[in-house]
Amino acid sequence: MIDWVRGCQQQNPQAQAAFYNHYKRRFLGICRRYAHTTFEAEDIFQEAFIKVFKQIHQLKTPETVSIWIKSILIRTAIDYFRKNSAFYVYENAEEDTNLIESEADFSILDVLEKEQVLSIIMKMPEGYRLILNLYLIDGYEHAEIAEMLGISVGTSKSQLSRAKDYLRKQLHAIDLKKYENG
């Protein structure tokens, strides 16, 4: 891996191709979580890798390349939606404290296939999906999300709460269908 990074820093086409193909298999899934379609995910991935190749000479520690690329992918996905969609979050939304969070509500996740969960996430309203991905899956804190998206911390928390409620309802519907068909 380190050899690929150094090769990319020297603009070696073979190293760039190997590097790109390795990370495409690995990171296209991240883009799919942020996109509505596979086409959008591939577009986000392409845009991100243009940035990666333009900036790779700045990478001082090749051992951290995966983390560095993931950060670029996520920020590119955010930029993509700012430019290309009706992306929004409810800026004046207050945190909904009436939503009850229960680990039991998500127990169905243990039996679902990854593609089923991804399908539900991809159908979420964009604001919900973006916050859910950033916080729950990619591990950003609400303050970081607020800064990245130009929203308040309260809005980030509210959107996460609403996203969890949406996900909970979709998972409940799947669970009910499982028993109805059984």
Q: Which of 20-34, 81-95, 161-175 has the lowest mean pLDDT?
A: 81-95
pLDDT at 108: 43
Q: Which of 39-43, 83-87, 133-137, 143-147 has the lowest mean pLDDT?
A: 83-87
Q: Does pLDDT of 95 surpass 60?
A: no
pLDDT at 137: 86
pLDDT at 124: 87
List the domain boundaries for the chain: 2-84, 103-181
Say if CB 62 and CB 7 are below 8 A apart: no
Taking the model in full, what pTM does it have?
A: 0.70
CATH level 2 (architecture), domain 103-181: Orthogonal Bundle (1.10)
- Distance (Å, whole) CA 182 – CA 177: 8
The whole-number average pLDDT for the span 115-135 is 85
Q: Which of 71-80, 84-93, 119-128 has the lowest mean pLDDT?
A: 84-93
User: Nearest to residue 112, comparing CAs of 157, 56, 177?
Assistant: 177
Q: What is the mean pLDDT of the chain?
A: 81
Percentage above 90 pLDDT, the chain? 40
The whole-number average pLDDT for the span 7-32 is 90
pLDDT at 177: 61
Please indicate whether residue 2 or residue 9 has the higher confidence score (pLDDT): 9
For the domain made up of 2-84, the CATH class stated in words is: mainly alpha
109: how many CB neighbours lie within 10 A of its CB?
13
The whole-number average pLDDT for the span 141-168 is 91
Q: Is the dihedral of CA 107, 112, 113, 117 positive or negative?
A: negative
Residues 6+ apart with CB under 8 A from 136: 160, 163, 164
In three-state form (DSSP H/G/I as H, E/B as E, the rest C), the secondary structure along the chain is: CHHHHHHHHCCCHHHHHHHHHHHHHHHHHHHHHHCCCHHHHHHHHHHHHHHHHHHHHHCCCHHHHHHHHHHHHHHHHHHHHHHHCCCCCCCCCCCCCCCCCCHHHHHHHHCCCHHHHHHHHHHCCHHHHHHHHHHHHCCCCHHHHHHHHCCCHHHHHHHHHHHHHHHHHHHHHHHHHHHHHC
29: how many CB neighbours lie within 10 A of its CB?
12
